[in-house]
Amino acid sequence: MVGSFLAKDLSEKGHNVVVIEKDPQICERIARTTKAIVINGDACDYRYQEEARVDKADVFAAVTGDDDDNLVACQLAKTSFNVPRTVARVNNPKNERIFNLMGIDAISSTTIIGHLIEEETTVGDIITLHLMRKGKFAIVELDIPDTAKNACSKPIKDLGLPKNSVLVALIRDEEALIPRGNHTLQRGDTVIAITSIEQEKELKAKLTT
């Protein structure tokens, strides 16, 4: 889902995108719905990165649901193909420090990954990331479960979300939306939010019940 969204979003903005994906059905869907070149294979395997001409890439992004695979794929791109910039989705926040130590831009937010690929980091971005690293804020990525009756029963503005929490992106059916107060969440949505550390558990409870 994350890879499909990024491929569509970046290719529509004029970037040359090549996707390496293990699942043949997902490959078929990406090829059908985007302008990206799609290769059926494992991005942790040298031959598939070679076939994708990763040596010509400005940026390599690994966005699977497996942190180990993302780390291996990014390291392969850096060491074997000299890609100047690697970006990885981190599913377990505890692994973020390891990725950063390896010289990989690591983040859990799909939206921010897109900006990292497309834009240079601004002073504002640096300040925001610094505050997060100091432990004051957290980027939260949540899937709305099938059991979330309350979260899906009323508009976002009426959910009583914590004061220092902001929903910054909503991914639904591979489309990214900017959530508004009158939007209503649906089961299966992926929500990306920024919240204070103290209110993270409260926010998660509001969005998953």
Q: Which CATH number goes with the domain that contains 183? A: 3.30.70.1450
Per-residue model confidence as pLDDT tens digits over 120-154: 444 344 444 444 555 566 777 788 888 888 889 88
Q: Which two tokens stand for residue 59?
A: 């940026």
Q: Is residue 76 part of a domain?
A: yes
Considering the domain architecture, whether residues 50 and 146 belong to the same structural domain is answered as no
Return the pLDDT at 139: 72
Number of domains present in the structure of the chain: 2
Considering the domain architecture, whether residues 19 and 102 belong to the same structural domain is answered as yes
Per-residue model confidence as pLDDT tens digits over 75-90: 999 999 999 999 888 8
Return the pLDDT at 56: 94
CA distance 16 to 116: 16
CA distance 89 to 8: 17
Give the 3-state DSSP-derived string for 53-68, with helices as H, strands as E and coil as C: CHHHCCEEEECCCCHH
Considering the domain architecture, whether residues 173 and 110 belong to the same structural domain is answered as no
pLDDT confidence bin for 22, thresholds 50/70/90: very high
Domain range spanning residue 71? 2-120
CA distance 144 to 175: 15
Q: Is residue 125 part of a domain?
A: no
Considering the domain architecture, whether residues 183 and 100 belong to the same structural domain is answered as no
Q: Is residue 181 part of a domain?
A: yes
pTM of full prediction above 0.85: no
Q: Is residue 88 part of a domain?
A: yes
Considering the domain architecture, whether residues 113 and 165 belong to the same structural domain is answered as no
Q: In which region does residue 151 sit, left (phi positive, over 0), alpha (psi from -120 to 50) or beta (all else)?
A: alpha
Return the pLDDT at 55: 95
Considering the domain architecture, whether residues 24 and 115 belong to the same structural domain is answered as yes
CA distance 5 to 153: 26
Considering the domain architecture, whether residues 108 and 169 belong to the same structural domain is answered as no
DSSP state, 144?
Answer: P
CA distance 97 to 159: 33
Which pairing describes strands 137-143 and 175-177: parallel, antiparallel, or unpaired?
A: unpaired
